[in-house]
Structure 1
Amino acid sequence: MKRNTNRHRSDDNFLHAMEGKVITVYRGGPESKTGRLADIQSDYIALQVDNKIVYYQWKHVKSVTENTSETVSPAESAECEKADDFQELIERMANRTVQLNQGGPESKKGKLHETGDDFLVLETEDDGIVYFNIDHVKSISAEQEDEDEQEDERTEFEMADDFHGIFKRLIHKWVSINRGGPEAVEGILVDNSDGHYTLVKDKEVLRIHPLHIKSISAGAKGAAKKEENKDENQGEKECAEEESHEEQHTSSEKSKRSSKEDRSSKRDEDESYSYATVLRTIDYRWKRGRK
């Protein structure tokens, strides 16, 4: 698939005039950040915010404001990833922990496993594997890697050439479409007919146009977190039962030892006072004197 990397020349001139300066991307909202314009590529820009680089997909940037009171960022320059376009940039971040979008319902942090022609595979803590439509990703940033962190076992996930192929692999499964907001839905994915994907939930039949689908995952939203909590609770329950069993066993052993000690103490006591054992009883009868 050939990527569209064309941009109006006026946009290039407009941005290059501010390169190296402090700007604010978006005037408000969760994606709004202020930092140094560190790099400009065909369809994305790199903004240095403190010591972190946030990459914005240019077509989603609604406004850019130059801060005329400052010309340099107070932080030291951070190294930018170099790529021809936003798609290639994401590919270069594979196997790293990334933040997708800076806020809002589609903001997610997780490990980036793989990319297709128009989607990426992100492993998240609460939803497990989530497939994101790259076209809807507003920004991405790489998190600092922990050198002591060991490589986990590779998580299984579906793979296809494009986002449509992922949907085909999830047919007849319970899925969650879009992470939040009014367009977030769950249900059984039935098929793609007349250009719309169909979900069935209880007595409702929902049809969603592919252009409005930002992300999809198998299972209910938050299922991975619930399963993790369930495993933790089960582990805590088993641990508590084991501790209770140990306490009962210890208590029983103490009771046995106490009983043996009592019997032993009594035996020792009897032996200590054996010299006082009565051998025979003499009944003395006093005779009255004669008057």
Structure 2
Amino acid sequence: MKRNTKRQRSDDNFLHAMEGKVITVYRGGPESKTGRLADIQSDYIALQVDNKIVYYQWKHVKSVTENTSETVSPAEAAECEKADDFQDLISRMTNRTVQLNQGGPESKRGKLHETGDDFLVLETEDDGIVYFNADHVKSISAEQEEDGQEEERPEFEMADDFHGIFKRLIHKWVSINRGGPEAVEGILVDNSDGHYTLVKDKEVLRIYPFHIKSISEGAKGAAKKEENKDEENKGEKESAEEEKPHEESREEQRTSSKKSKRSSRSVRSSKREKEVSYSYATVLRTIDYRWKHGRK
């Protein structure tokens, strides 16, 4: 939705007067940041916070305060992304790790894989693939690009717009929003007039995609639980493999001990046989000697 032309002109004059100066965006809350106003575009502003650029969607900004006592040297200025609008800006960050919103329940960090006309696809650690309604994104910042081996691209749904994503998730268990009182889970069912129904147990909710901030397939936090489960299985497997040589060593020791005992018994048995044989020979000679002695 485009802003009123007169208001836009007023906002532009107001902001351009502070360009390059130190300001505070929002007076409080998780989105509040203080930095240098680095750039002003049609529907977003760029705030340099230390060496990072945070891009705010202007329609969500509730207040901007100029800090007249603070200054930032022009030599410390960081380079900003240039885009036609906020949605175009997001698309330019594709395949990079981004921070979506600076705080709050809808704040997520992850790899940006794709964008549509009014949504973006973010791979997160906790929830896996999450589809965010770009209209509700308050701010975004990108991390420095790192040269490295490309990771395997995960599977996800794609559509022209956010409504299309909902259509592709029909009859699946989904999580609506990341947190707060509006976060719900259930089976998504199609309805008329662009509305959808979410069914969970005996509760039935009617929802409209425009008001939804984010949606993901599966239970919230399922990706993290699955990762922890895989790590546990991997740890048990490694532990078993490490224990195997010890078991084999102990088995060899038991086998060697048994052989040693058998060898010892065999030696003792051999000694007894020699002793018995020697005793028997002595007896025969003794009897024979006495017999001959008797005949004389």
How far is 1:181 from its partner? Answer: 0.3
TM-score, L = length of structure 2? 0.80
How far is 1:167 from its partner? Answer: 0.5
Partner SS, residue 99 of structure 1: strand
Aligned counterpart, 1:285: 290
Distance 1:202 1:73, change over 3 A: farther
Aligned counterpart, 1:131: 131
Distance 1:247 1:52, change over 3 A: farther
CA distance in 2 between partners of 1:23 and 1:272 (Å): 110
Moved over 3 A (4+): 1-7, 232-235, 237-242, 244-291
How far is 1:195 from its partner? Answer: 3.9
CA distance in 2 between partners of 1:4 and 1:247 (Å): 85
TM-score, L = length of structure 1? 0.82
Say which structure is richer in helix.
2
How far is 1:252 from its partner? Answer: 9.3
Q: Is the 8 A contact 1:36 1:49 kept in 2?
A: yes
Aligned length: 290
Partner SS, residue 283 of structure 2: coil
CA distance in 2 between partners of 1:268 and 1:24 (Å): 102
CA distance in 1 between partners of 2:54 and 2:274 (Å): 84
How far is 1:158 from its partner? Answer: 0.4
1:33-90: CA deviation from partner (whole Å, max 9, x where unpaired): 0000000000000000000000000000000000011232598111100011101100
1:92-142: CA deviation from partner (whole Å, max 9, x where unpaired): 000000000000000000000110000000001111100000000000000
Gaps of 5+ in 2: 244-248
Q: Is the 8 A contact 1:120 1:131 kept in 2?
A: yes
What aligned pairs does 1:162-177 form with structure 2 within 5 A after superposition?
A: 162-177=161-176
Q: Is the 8 A contact 2:166 2:209 kept in 1?
A: no
Higher mean C-alpha deviation, range 61-70 or range 203-212: 203-212
CA distance in 1 between partners of 2:131 and 2:109 (Å): 13
Distance 1:25 1:2, change over 3 A: closer
Aligned counterpart, 1:45: 45
Distance 1:278 1:175, change over 3 A: farther
Distance 1:29 1:238, change over 3 A: same
Q: Is the 8 A contact 2:100 2:109 kept in 1?
A: yes
Q: Which has the larger radius of gyration?
A: 2
Instruction: Report the aligned-residue RMSD.
Output: 5.4
What aligned pairs does 1:252-291 form with structure 2 within 5 A after superposition?
A: none
CA distance in 2 between partners of 1:276 and 1:290 (Å): 22
1:256-286: CA deviation from partner (whole Å, max 9, x where unpaired): 9999999999999999999999999999999
CA distance in 2 between partners of 1:116 and 1:259 (Å): 82
